[in-house]
Amino acid sequence: MNYERLTRKQLPKRVYQLLKRIGNTGDEMGLSVFVVGGFVRDLLIGSPNLDADVVVEGDGIAFAHAFAENEGGQVKRHRRFGTAVVVLPDGFKVDVATARTETYAHPGALPSVNPASIKEDLRRRDFTINAMAMALNEDRFGELVDFFDGKADILSESVKVLHDLSFVDDPTRIFRAVRFEQRYGFSIEPHTAELLQRAGSEDCFKTISGQRLRNEILLILKEENPFPAIRRLANFDLVKYIHPRICVSDELAELLDRIRDMGWCPNWDMALISLIALLDQLSADEAVDVSERLALRKRHTEALSLCKMRLPDILQRLDGINLQPSEVYRILKGLPVEVLRFGMAKCQGASDNILLYLTRLRKVRRLVNGNDLRRLGYSEGPLYTQILDETFAAQLDGLRGKSQAIQFVTDRFPL
């Protein structure tokens, strides 16, 4: 079956045309080129995915350079895996790889790679639904390359490995299986579930780095609705690899629901907010254990620590209490937005005060600065800080405009 029409219908025009031009560069170089993996899966499922992973039968790096030159783009390369990213002038990125086999020196190791055919390249992948390609060369454009019945598994809504050692080769696939299953409302096929269970019960994660485990867990937490996947991980008894004391309860489901109900903004790190929720029942020391085991980034570790060390007290001070805006500002100043959003979901009585801070107070800019004080005739010294702080607090509590602010200064601190 040919998917040219579906591709044209489903994708934004510029992405469709980009795929055509990728095929044209392949034709110019006499190389077969394909778009693969999640892009093809989501095309067939009908959910938009613009992460174009391109595989070339032949020198992927040379192809990336030729394509970037045709487009006026730039190439960033990853020598070890024979992969490159072409960054187009409008910022759109295309990942390019040489079709390759992968062998694992030991379970969980990063693979050694060798050039191969598209069939072999697809064979090394995690699940049949992710092991399809679509040809991009002019004479084959839209042809589905599906050696492992990925399309049939999409139709029967199954997540299925290609071979029995898949989870042993790469234990991160355990989390990926659950993520795809829950994202699409599919089922992990019974034999795959058995393999997953077996790999999961043998603490296979000790062979992979904390960073790889962390990436997969954050990808789950970044899903639009992460709870079903977390519950499924708990059914497979896998949550203990994050921390044995995490309890996947109705309270956690409600907390995550409330986080989702707050909506979403591109500036928020949703995975971090959900991670804070997941670790909510843990003590500060246990949260530190998780940070270390998952090699969390500094920003995440710091946010977790704020939630354990300072947030409970802060929420108590804000809970159901009518405070002056300047007081709310003083209490919340400097806290990361994710900690504040979590605080809102955790304690509804504090959420009005937090929202006031997020939507108004933190954006307020000072009306009076040191130069103004100098001009007014105040001599420089520690008094400046006091005047500026008090004026800013008054501004938060209602002063409007620069002349009111200056008036406040001269009334409150007569020269």
> Which burial class, exposed, middle or buried, applies to 122 when counting CB atoms under 10 A from its CB (0-12, 13-18, 19+)?
buried
Q: What distance in Å separates the CA atoms of residue 168 and residue 172, rounded to the nearest whole number?
A: 9
Residue 102's beta-bridge partner residues? 113
Place of tokens 């998952």: 294
Q: Which of 182, 176, 146 is nearest to 161 (CA)?
A: 176
Q: Does 38 bind ligand CTP (CB under 6 A)?
A: yes
How do strand 158-159 and strand 74-78 relate by DSSP bridges? unpaired
Question: Contact region for ligand CTP (CB under 6 A) — 45-53, 197-205, 340-348, 368-376?
Answer: 45-53
Least CB distance from residue 327 to ligand CTP, whole Å? 44
Q: What is the radius of gyration, based on Cα positions, of the chain? A: 27
125: contact with ligand CTP by CB under 6 A: yes
**Using CB under 6 A, which of the segments 15-23, 170-178, 292-300, 337-345 binds ligand CTP?**
170-178
Which residue in this structure is represented by tokens 């999961």? 200
Residue 274 tokens, joined: 């959900």
Give, in degrees to the nearest 5, the angle at Cα 173 between 1 and 167.
105
E strand or H helix at 32: strand 32-36
Which among 288, 328, 337, 329 is positioned nearest to 308, based on CA atoms?
Answer: 288
Q: Cα-flanking dihedrals φ and ψ of residue 389, to 5°?
A: -65, -45
CB 73 within 8 A of CB 67: yes
Rounded CA separation 22/4 (Å) = 14
State yes or no: residue 107 binds ligand CTP (CB under 6 A): no
Nearer to ligand CTP (CB atom), residue 166 or residue 395? 166
Per rule CB under 6 A, is residue 51 in the interface with ligand CTP? yes
Q: Please give the structure tokens belonging to residue 261.
A: 């109900």
Q: Are 325 and 361 in contact (CB under 8 A)?
A: yes
Q: Which is nearer to ligand CTP, 93 or 333 (CB)?
A: 93
Nearer to ligand CTP, 169 or 338 (CB): 169
CB of 283 to ligand CTP, least distance (A): 32
Q: Using the rule CB under 6 A, is 100 a contact of ligand CTP?
A: no
Site for ligand CTP (CB under 6 A): which residue of 65, 100, 160, 173? 173
Q: In this chain, which stretch among 48-56, 103-111, 273-281, 357-365 interacts with ligand CTP, using CB under 6 A?
A: 48-56
Segment near ligand CTP (CB under 6 A); pick from 123-131, 266-274, 317-325, 370-378: 123-131
Residue (166 or 351) nearer to ligand CTP, CB: 166
**Residues 266/267/270/273 CA torsion (nearest 10 deg):** -160
The H-or-E segment that residue 95 falls in is strand 93-98
Tell me the sheet residues that pair with 97: 55, 83
Site membership for ligand CTP, residue 121 (CB under 6 A): no
DSSP 110: P
In angstroms, give the least distance from the CB of 49 to ligand CTP.
Answer: 6
Question: Which positions ≥6 away from 12 have C-beta within 8 Å?
Answer: 50
Question: In b/e form, how buried is each residue of 265-286, taking b as 16+ CB within 10 angstroms?
Answer: eeebbbbbbbbbbbbbebeeeb
Type of residue found at 399: L
Binding ligand CTP (rule: CB under 6 A), the pick from 32, 128, 130, 158 is 130
The stretch near ligand CTP (CB under 6 A) out of 46-54, 76-84, 108-116, 306-314 is 46-54
- Looking at the Cβ atoms of 60 and 343, the one nearer to ligand CTP is 60
Q: How far is CA 392 from the centre of its chain?
A: 37
Residue type, 384: Y
Please report whether residue 25 would count as binding ligand CTP according to CB under 6 A.
no
Q: Give the nearest distance from C-beta 81 to ligand CTP in angstroms.
A: 11
Q: Does 111 bind ligand CTP (CB under 6 A)?
A: no
Q: Is 50 in the site for ligand CTP (CB under 6 A)?
A: no
Indicate which single residue of 7, 22, 34, 37 sits in contact with ligand CTP (rule: CB under 6 A).
37
Does 210 interact with ligand CTP (rule: CB under 6 A)? no
Q: Is residue 69 near ligand CTP by the rule CB under 6 A?
A: no
Total binding residues toward ligand CTP, as defined by CB under 6 A: 13
Residue in the shown chain whose Cβ atom is closest to ligand CTP: 38
From the list 84-92, 125-133, 244-252, 364-372, the region that binds ligand CTP by CB under 6 A is 125-133
53 binds ligand CTP (CB under 6 A): yes
Stretch that binds ligand CTP, among 63-71, 172-180, 297-305, 350-358 (CB under 6 A): 172-180
Indicate whether 181 belongs to the interface with ligand CTP (CB under 6 A). Answer: no
Q: Give residues in contact with ligand CTP (CB under 6 A).
A: 37-38, 49, 51, 53, 125-126, 130-131, 170, 172-173, 176
